[in-house]
């Protein structure tokens, strides 16, 4: 049985989601710089996969944000 109060568990979940968002953001920054480097070197074929993967990462970040928002609202309501 979990002895942690619901508020503490909620905060742990939020912290975990935030860490995941930070990791996704770092990957996205790397992806943008790699795509730009490739584009400036004249390789235009990398632009589409870069945009698609960046879109997927953004969607994941948005889903995590909605998760944090929901948990935060629940904690505040008690």
Partner 1 sequence: MSWFRKPSSTPLWRDEFSVHTADERYVNRRQFTKFLTLTSFGMLVGNLWIFARSAFHRAPTYPRVKVAATDEIPAGGVKIFFYPTADDPCILVRTGHDSFVAFSQKCTHLSCAVYFEKKQNRLECPCHQGFFSIADGSVIQGPPQRPLPRVRLENENGHLVAIGMEAESA
Burial class (CB in 10 A: 0-12, 13-18, 19+), 37: exposed
Q: Does 25 bind partner 1 (CB under 8 A)?
A: yes
Q: Which residues 39-58 are close enough to bind partner 1 by CB under 8 A?
A: 39-42, 44, 47-48, 50-51, 54-55, 57-58
Query: Looking up tokens 């742990």, which residue turns up?
Result: 12
What does the alpha-carbon distance between residue 18 and residue 38 come to, in Å, rounded to a whole number? 30
What does the alpha-carbon distance between residue 42 and residue 56 come to, in Å, rounded to a whole number? 25
Give whichever of 4 and 51 is closer to partner 1, judged by the CB atom.
51
User: Which stretches of the chain bind partner 1, using CB under 8 A?
Assistant: 11, 14-15, 17-18, 21-22, 24-25, 28-29, 31-32, 35-36, 39-42, 44, 47-48, 50-51, 54-55, 57-58, 61-62, 64-65, 68-69, 72
């Amino acid at each position: 049985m979990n002895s942690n109060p619901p508020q503490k568990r909620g905060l742990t979940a939020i912290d975990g989601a935030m860490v995941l968002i930070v990791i996704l953001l770092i990957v996205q920054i790397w992806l943008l710089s790699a795509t730009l480097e490739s584009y400036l070197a004249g390789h235009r074929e990398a632009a589409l996969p870069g945009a698609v993967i960046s879109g997927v990462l953004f969607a994941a970040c948005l889903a995590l944000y909605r998760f944090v928002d929901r948990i935060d609202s629940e904690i505040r309501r008690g």
